[in-house]
Homo-oligomer: A and B are copies of this chain.
Amino acid sequence: MQVSFSAQEIIEIVRPKATKGGCESAVEGIAALADAKPGDLSFLGNAKYKVEVPGTAASVVLLPAEYFGEPKPGQLFLLVENPSAALARICGRIEQALWPKPSPGVHASAVVAADAAVDPSATVGPLCVVESGAMIGAGVHLQAQVFVGRQARIGAGSWLMAGTVVAAECVLGNRVRLQPGVVIGSDGFGYEFVQGRHEKVPQVGHVLIGDDVEIGANSTLDRARFSRTSIGEGTKIDNLVQIAHNVTVGRHCLLCSQVGISGSTRLEDYVVLGGQAGVGGHITLGKGMKAGGQAGITSDVAPGGFVNGTPAIPYLLERKIAVLQQRLPDLFKRVDALEAQWADAKKSSS
């Protein structure tokens, strides 16, 4: 990524509360404090790295307003309320260069059904397929090699990256982002066991995705057996996550990478699941509950709960047990000793 900002341009973007020092050179990169070299911008986003500020070679450093140190010669400190947020504003400016708005229109190599409704302001990139009856909203960007099935609907401003699949009948809200390789609307995993064989239960529902949802690369969301699998507004899903049929995910949840959620389970709003956590079927995770990475959740969790482990139990209890487990070798020795003392006492008293 070619980046070039003058110190003055950076100041205009972040609007600092105060500045210290100054820098002549252009900012041509962003780096962590310890890795930065002259010409880079860096930032103190986590107090843990405070000791690295005096040693950084970065030309421009974003710092919390209460930071007391002084810059080196040729170094500019920008004191801001929230350095991470300030950096995000700079990155937002860079992003416009990284992902320029494409021109509207349908690429000549795309295969679009005659009766699909593509908004004139939408971009359908090379080698995309848009099937019969599909609806592509205003300003939508299908990057390349995207598949949109029959009767599917893609809401305004959504961005579907290379190789994403939205199968028939599925519905995406506005400003939805699908990272490459996402599959929306694969069949749910449902079979009836009949005479020694697994007979397929047809999966005739769909997937409904709310506004401002983002879904990570190669994640998979199954269509419902009937009615819908749904993801609430503002929820963010990381890479390689599995959402089974008839799951309901609330609004503003965060599902980290490789999470798996079994069928018909319901997540209320603001749920946060750590990486590789697994959730059983037909249960409810209450509003704002959290689970640690690799947790295996097999029953309902109350709103605000924080669970960990497999099977998942309250976090503090799980931590306590994990510590005690490491003391098991010692505990076995202590019980051995008690038994030996008892046997001795018995022998000497007889």
Residues on A facing B (Cβ under 8 Å): 1, 29-32, 35, 84-85, 87-88, 91-92, 94-95, 98-99, 107, 109, 111, 125-127, 129, 131, 143-145, 147, 149, 161-163, 165, 167-169, 177, 179-181, 183, 186-187, 189, 191-192, 196-206, 212, 214, 216-218, 220, 222, 225-227, 234, 236, 238-240, 242, 244, 252, 254, 256-258, 260, 262, 275-276, 278, 280, 293-294, 296, 298, 309-311, 313, 317, 320-322, 324-329, 331-332, 334-335, 338-339, 341-342
Q: Contacts A111-B107, A189-B236, A202-B92: A258 and B256 contacting too (C-beta < 8 A)? A: no
B321 and A198 form a contact (CB under 8 A): no
Q: Bound state CA distance, A286 and B341, in angstroms? A: 45
A310 to B339, CA, bound (A): 31
- Asked if A180 meets B147 with Cβ closer than 8 Å, knowing A127-B127, A220-B217, the reply is yes
Nearest B residue to A49, CB-CB: B282
In the complex, A298→B331 CA distance in Å?
A: 25
Q: CB-CB < 8 A to A197: which residues of B?
A: 212, 234, 252
Complex Cα gap A81–B244 (Å): 27
Shortest CB-to-CB span from A237 to chain B, Å, is 9
Residues A242 and B242 in contact in the complex (CB < 8 Å), given A1-B205, A84-B192, A328-B325: no
Q: In the complex where A144-B147, A201-B91 touch, is A218 in contact with B220 (Cβ < 8 A)?
A: yes
Residues of B within 8 A of A327 (CB): 332
CB atoms of A278 and B275 under 8 A apart: yes
If A165-B163, A204-B95, A293-B278 touch, does A129 touch B129 (CB 8 Å cutoff)? Answer: no
Which residue in chain B gives the minimum CB-CB distance to A278?
Answer: B276
Other than A145-B163, A163-B163, give 5 A-B pairs with Cβ distance below 8 A: A109-B111, A183-B217, A294-B294, A325-B325, A334-B339
- In the bound complex, do residue B240 and residue A202 qualify as a contact, i.e. CB atoms below 8 Å apart? no
Contact in complex: A313, B326 (CB < 8 Å)? yes
* Cβ contact within 8 Å between A163 and B147: yes
Chain B residues near A147 (CB-CB < 8 A): 143-145, 162-163, 180
Q: How far is the CA of A107 from the CA of B129 in the complex (A)?
A: 12
Hey, which chain B residues are within 8 Å of A92, CB to CB?
202
Return chain B residues, CB-CB under 8 Å to A1. Answer: 169, 204-206
A281 CB to closest chain B CB (Å) equals 9
Select from chain B the residue with minimum beta-carbon distance to A325: B321
The 7 closest A-B pairs by CB, nearest first: A30-B226, A186-B217, A91-B202, A147-B162, A95-B202, A111-B126, A217-B220
The one of B31, B205, B236, B342 that contacts A227, using a Cβ cutoff of 8 Å: B31
